[in-house]
Amino acid sequence: MPSVKMLINWQGKFNFSAKNENGLNVHFDAPSDFGGDGAALTPMENVLASLVVCSGIHIIDFLNKRRHKLNDFSINAFADRREEPPRGFTEIKIEYMFKGEELDENDVKEAIKISEEKYWSVGSMLKETTKIKSAYLINRE
Amino acid sequence: MPSVKMLINWQGKFNFSAKNENGLNVHFDAPSDFGGDGAALTPMENVLASLVVCSGIHIIDFLNKRRHKLNDFSINAFADRREEPPRGFTEIKIEYMFKGEELDENDVKEAIKISEEKYWSVGSMLKETTKIKSAYLINRE
């Protein structure tokens, strides 16, 4: 079965670093309202980023296969959290912004649809507890 | 309502960077079996790390409040994924490893229990689709 392993090390205060088997790592800090001192992203910020990059990777893959040339691709993500603990996300809004002279809108729509419905590993887990909406914008520059 | 915002930028190939409102950022790459070139953690590695750091932060907070001195704290996380897309996690095992001369085992157990049952924002979302087990080890050094 495909597996993922991470080793996490506490580094004082609320700072943590996490390392995969190849030694690549990411740092974390607690949110400021919890006493974190803003040294790194919080776990919830990282989850939101991971969610969006997960669909982004599949969107890029799909557009590559259709031989589209992207000049730029960025994504905004906004998430609301529960007021009371555990403060999971309640709603997430994603805005995909594509830039490319000859991008075909139908292919962009299909790229998003297939990524979100078929390949979205992170999304498939969060969808059960969180309402997720997405929209897109194509800039032909 | 408390909210989280992230801006994600594609940086060519399958490389992405994600930035919060304070300009802190994290990088991502696709998994190697997807054609990523190992420049950064994958979204699923990042989610696993975020899950574990999320409980880790609350464990540290609890032990601080009970005035325990920790010499070291690290966490191993192992996750299995589905074979077919979307390849979300199916099972996650977490091993909390504490080091401290005078750590009270009951307080350690309570710290884990309260963190996982009450404050685990990331865990509260993943628990719906993933079996999560945890264990702990105390080293009195």
CATH superfamily of B43-139: K homology (KH) domain (3.30.300.20)
Statement: residue A1 has pLDDT above 80: no
Phi/psi of residue B139, nearest 5 degrees:
-115, 115
Residue A36 CB contacts under 8 Å (≥ 6 apart), including other chains: A13, A14, A29, A30, A42, B57
Residue A113 CB contacts under 8 Å (≥ 6 apart), including other chains: none
Q: What's residue B58's pLDDT?
A: 98
In this prediction, residue B23 has a pLDDT band, given cuts at 50, 70 and 90, of very high
Least confident piece of the model among A55-64, A110-119, B33-42, B87-96: B33-42
In the chain, the amino acid numbered A114 is: I
Report the distance separating Cα B77 and Cα B89, nearest Å: 12
Of A4, A52, A128, the CB nearest to B81: A4
Q: What's residue B1's pLDDT?
A: 55
Of A20, A43, A89, the CB nearest to B50: A43
Of B45, B73, B124, the CB nearest to A6: B45
State mean pLDDT over B111-133.
Answer: 98
**Beta carbon pairs, A and B, within 8 Å:** 250
Q: What is the DSSP string of A12-65?
A: STT-EEEE-TTS-EEEE---GGGT--SSS--HHHHHHHHHHHHHHHHHHHHHHH
The pTM of the full predicted model, rounded to 2 decimals, is 0.98
ipTM computed for the complex: 0.97
Statement: residue B100 has pLDDT above 70: yes
Spatial contact of A78 and A91, defined as CB atoms under 8 Å apart: no
Statement: residue A74 has pLDDT above 60: yes
Q: Do B121 and A87 lie within an 8 Å CB cutoff?
A: yes
Q: How many other CB atoms are found less than 10 A from the CB of residue A43?
A: 28
Give kind and range of the element (H or E) at residue B106: helix B105-114
| B101 in A contact zone (CB under 8 Å) | no
Spatial contact of B100 and B60, defined as CB atoms under 8 Å apart: no
Q: What's residue A91's pLDDT?
A: 98
Statement: residue A46 has pLDDT above 70: yes
